[in-house]
Amino acid sequence: MMTVQKQIDYNRIAKAIDYLKANFKKQPGLEELAEIVHLSPFHFQRLFTEWAGVSPKKFIQYTSIEYAKQLLRKKQATLFDAAMETGLSGTSRLHDLFVNIEGMTPGEYKNGGKNLAINYSYAESPFGNLIVASTSKGICHMAFTTDQEEAFNHLRARFPNAQYDRVVDKIQQDALFVFQHGPDKLNQIKLHLNGTPFQIKVWETLLKIPMGELRSYGTIAKLVENPQAARAIGSAIGQNPVAYLIPCHRVIKSTGEIGGYMWGSTRKTAIIGWEAAKVAV
């Protein structure tokens, strides 16, 4: 689990991000942000830069509505071409190409995971603690959490008839490397998911969004060849069972607003800004 100090640091970053979201129009300065989290401007600047890789000022740019609109316009102008459709973005900074989905059989889907052996463990990330679970075929569940018992109960509700063992395995370790080593050094990650064919199609489309880029809900609807299904797209995205690896955080409103996120809009903003900083380095 995340150390106490790391949790305190992330909580401070999250509080600063909340303040930025509420007051972005007046572009709060370093001193103002530092006061919000009860640190000196020097220590806040150092903490924020260590966490995000960029200064608070640059982070504001990466998470602003105008910046998001620029990203959306840029990609919409290209119509995504064949590169987007095949998951190839022209950059080596994608972990998406290393992630494959294997859907569960109808039987596994209907019987609540009967005959499935699921390993699970808890880990830390730059965005808070995680529960991560795997079968012999891949990651089946990953979620941000502040309560281990609640997180496990949520996992068990998805697979009520599975056999559980609290253990860290290589499948989980490979998946978590994305936070420590970046996308360029990943082994191939496999996901073993239960979902309808439509949901899995949406999740596969999300995997093609490059790190540091954003898409609108309407664009995702077009990519799954159902441009009138924006609401259904939103529902499928909202039921994403694997936080971060299936990057539903990269889908925002067409207005450039961040929009909702299962694990909180503050965390979504943090991830978007963090990824933008990593790609810009």
140 in active site = no
Q: Can you spell out the DSSP letters for 128-162?
A: EEEEEEEETTEEEEEEE-S-HHHHHHHHHHHSTTS
Q: Can you spell out the DSSP letters for 44-104?
A: HHHHHHHHHSS-HHHHHHHTSHHHHHHHHHHHHHHT-HHHHHHT--S-S--SGGGEEEEEP
Spell 215-241 as b/e; 16+ CB within 10 A means b.
bbbbbbbbbbeeeebbeebbebbeebb
Residue with tokens 């919409």: 76
Burial class of 92 by CB neighbour count within 10 A (0 to 12, 13 to 18, 19+): exposed
Q: 207 is written with which tokens?
A: 């995997």
Q: How far is 179 from 134, CA to CA, in rounded Å?
A: 18
**For residue 280, how many other CB atoms are within 10 A of its CB?**
12
Select which of 2, 72, 214, 248 is catalytic: 248
3-state helix, strand, coil in the chain (%, to 5): 55, 15, 30
Do 211 and 279 touch, CB atoms closer than 8 A? yes
Catalytic positions, please?
248
